[in-house]
Chains A and B, each alone.
Chain A
Amino acid sequence: MASSHSEAAKMEQIITEFFAKSIHIILESRALSVSSRSSCLDQAISSPCSSSSSSPSVRPRDKWFNLALRDCPAAIDNIDLLRRNNLDFIVIDVILVQKPLGWDPMSLSPKRVLPRSSSLKERYPFSWNTDQEELGLDTNTEKIVERWVVQYESRKTRDSSSGTRRSSNVSLHALYKKSTLLLRSLYATVRLLPAYKIFRELNSSAQIRPFTLAHRVSSFCEPFTRKEEAEMMKFGFTPVDASSGRLCLSVMYRPSASDVSSEPSTPLSPQVITDYVGSPLPDPLRRYPSGLPSHGSPSSLPFLRRHSWSHDHWRASPPSITYSPSPTYSESHTSISNASSRRLPPSSLPPHPTEMSLFQKKNSGFDECYPSPSPSIYYPGSLPSKPLLRSESAPVSIPNAEAAVSPGYPNTNRHNLPSTAPLRGLRCVSKNDRGVNTMQTGATAEKLFPLGKDEPRKYSGIKISACSSPQSSNRSYQDDFDETDFSCPFDVDDDDLTDPGSRAESFDHGHMAEAFEAGGFLPIRKSQDAAVGALVRMLKKAPPLRQDFSTSEHLSHSTCPETWNANNIQALEAPVPASMMSSGLTATRKTTTDALEEFHGYREMKNLLLTRGSKPQI
């Protein structure tokens, strides 16, 4: 009896360690490293590429499942909490936080020193590390790109297990071996998913990015809507049987997550220019199907430019950025790529299917591709003077976006950005709004989450009985872990549940710092801003787009404003900015000559079109 009891205890310990290791593996490759925390923890994350073999000493933690991991403060904090609470169900959400248009690191910095209010803890009694809330909840958009679920599924009905499974008496060795195998595959999988690319990008470069990664470890989760779920792919690891249940691990991930982090350095063939310059020609009438004349003032320059830019975006301009990986360029997107709001305008102009597919192929730099810093330019329906009117513009775009999603574009399409992005943006906005509200009413919010309070109690109750027995091991089970939960299990219950705040606060600062410093935003802010400003000025001062062609276009110039009509505009406007983009931004690249050739060819064609088009008007 005693031996079986200790077996059960060991099994419990394996399960707990499995949870800990899983969290560690996931967060090690998702939680951005924090320089500010290195002082208190001997962590050695300098870059994700560094091999962990730099620390050759074997720590007890490493022996578990024979997998030595790098120190990861975020994981260690969570694992501590896990041990104290003995949860059997853990959700790790990896969240992509996109910074808004005008975000200013300095304006956010005061938040770093604000102590986290206890209301947050009350609101999420059993969630911790809600990093994204320190990033300026009210202005960022967030979207869950990965949801990991680690679960110990206890077998409630004993009888059914005996029939279907022979594992009712799983040996410790088998459990340990299988969990080891499962964790190996977890380790490999984590690095194959798209979010890893984002993590690497954020971690490796000191460049300002308009996005960051946050994570939330929690004992419960808000289920995805059907739509969200449809956008995500699922990978379920084969569960590992234990004596009274099984260890389950699964992940839902957004296959398109890495789209945000498209690198400007991606090499592209010059062929792209051909598409991009020439493509408006075959069917110039298909864009702006309706409603154009009703927006804005027809004669204003911004208006013209808006269409040219956004149109040109919407076509296939992204490749153009790849020719200018200069600092100026890459900084430009930090200021302008406000995720959701930026994407709205295209969705309000339902793209033609061929445009869609074209875009899907080439949207590698969607965010980066809005070259003008003035948001009003992009909003057909919003006031030009208000930069960020998500709440106004978002609803407008929903129907279009939905329409764009449905017809024949599989949700698994990695590059379905144009259609899905507005929706995500909208969801994020509403989430944020709600987040703000709950933050404000934090004192009462506790009632909203009664489950979170009860759940852990229940789980810890299950485990305590097992853990109270002496721990011994034939392997390295008896490591000098922080095993306070095992030695005095009855302390776990109420203390942790009712007064977790102090602990949480102690490391929340770190996370705050993590979120800001990992990407290295602060140190180089000034130069980045300056560069952005320079770009803005350049764009503002840029001559009207058609000026270069004024000799050939004087006819249409004069007729255009009066006979305002969408088709006319398209024919005139659409291609010009495209060529300007390519020639302007790629002046120093090898492909310039190609582009120029294309451009000349195109100009000829355009002139042809113009003369043809202007005949009836004259």
Chain B
Amino acid sequence: MNCEACHLKELEVELFEIREVLRCILHTIVFHRALGLVRPKEVDLELFDITYVQCGEVELEKKIDEKIDQFVCWVEKHPNKKSQICLSFYEVKNKQASWFSNKIERLYWEQWYIYLNVAQHPKGHSNKSHHAKVVDPGEGALEDRNARSAALEASLREVLFQIIKFVNEKKDHVPPIPNLEGAVSFPYEITIPSSSDSAFGMDMIKRMLQTGHPTMLS
């Protein structure tokens, strides 16, 4: 089975924007891949003038929020780093025990890479709490901030269109829709860089071994 990968445009975000941005992107992707019966739920971003769609599954929402929390923790511990998040969809297949010992095989058929460049502003900007509003007396800074926020909004919009285009162009590799209850039709996982620095890389290697089709991981 083909494993298609979509590398989304890198976004330059500030810490307090990570949650909204990630929620928006992850939910938009999952909405296009949750092919069970969906009652779409529109969500307006607070920081940006963008409406995205969730599939209205509480469990899914929880899982995504958890992952985002973990990611934010990681970013706070590792400032000034580019980071990526990978959302993968797979199918589960039983296979006979092999040298790799697990009996259940995950066949990844799609991976989405979200790249974030978390900007850390040295002077006066909050980089500890995402709730803290930056109060900068300088007007120039305020304007910079507005401009930056507008730029991020435009980029985020671009990323959403990138997702939509990818979904449109690549349809063949999507497995047949299983007859399941609930919206989420395919198992998925969200991979974030974990506490040890090399974990993300390890994860990827592990997954490649599991999948046995590393070629598509560009």
Contacts and interface: CB of A to CB of B under 8 A. Distances in A.
A62 B37 CA distance: 8
Interface in A208-257: 237-238, 240
B198 to A, nearest CB: 35
A553 B169 CA distance: 67
Nearest to A594: B139
B164 to A, nearest CB: 5
Contact of B42 (A48, A178, A271): A48
Interface string B99-127: 00000000000000000000000000000
A192 interface: yes
A200 B139 CA distance: 32
B51 interface: yes
Contact of A185 (B32, B39, B56): B32
B177 interface: yes
A53 interface: yes
B38 A188 contact: no
Interface in A463-499: none
A191 B44 CA distance: 10
Contact of A192 (B37, B41, B50, B167): B50
A67 B42 contact: no
B46 interface: no
A51 B56 contact: yes
B59 interface: no
Interface in B37-84: 37-42, 44, 49-53, 56
Contacts of A188: 28, 31-32, 52-53, 160, 163-164
A177 B169 contact: no
Contacts of A271: 139-140, 142-143
B164 A181 contact: no
Interface string A44-67: 000011011100001000110011
Given A49-B44, A180-B35, A192-B160, A238 B171 contact: yes
Contacts of B160: 188, 192
Given A52-B40, A181-B32, A269-B142, A191 B52 contact: yes
A68 B177 contact: no
B190 interface: no
Given A177-B174, A181-B35, A187-B53, A192 B42 contact: no
Contact of A66 (B37, B41, B140, B161): B37
Contact of A189 (B140, B164, B183): B164
B2 interface: no
Contacts of A178: 171
Contacts of A192: 50-51, 157, 160-161, 164
A100 B138 CA distance: 43
Contacts of A62: 37, 39
A327 to B, nearest CB: 23
B146 interface: yes
B168 A238 contact: yes
A534 B160 CA distance: 45
A185 B36 CA distance: 15
B161 to A, nearest CB: 7
Interface string B126-169: 00000000000001101100100000000001001101100111
Given A181-B167, A188-B164, A270-B139, A173 B176 contact: yes
A363 to B, nearest CB: 15
Contacts of A191: 42, 51-53
Contacts of B53: 187-188, 191
Contact of B38 (A49, A66, A197): A66
List of 9 A-B pairs having minimum Cβ-Cβ separation, nearest first = A238-B168, A51-B41, A68-B39, A66-B37, A191-B51, A185-B164, A53-B39, A178-B171, A184-B32
Interface of B: 28, 31-32, 35-42, 44, 49-53, 56, 139-140, 142-143, 146, 157, 160-161, 163-164, 167-169, 171, 174, 176-177, 183
Given A51-B41, A188-B52, A197-B49, 12 more contacts: A51-B42, A66-B37, A68-B39, A177-B35, A177-B171, A180-B177, A184-B167, A188-B28, A196-B51, A238-B168, A240-B171, A269-B139
6 contacts: A51-B39, A52-B39, A58-B37, A192-B50, A238-B169, A269-B143
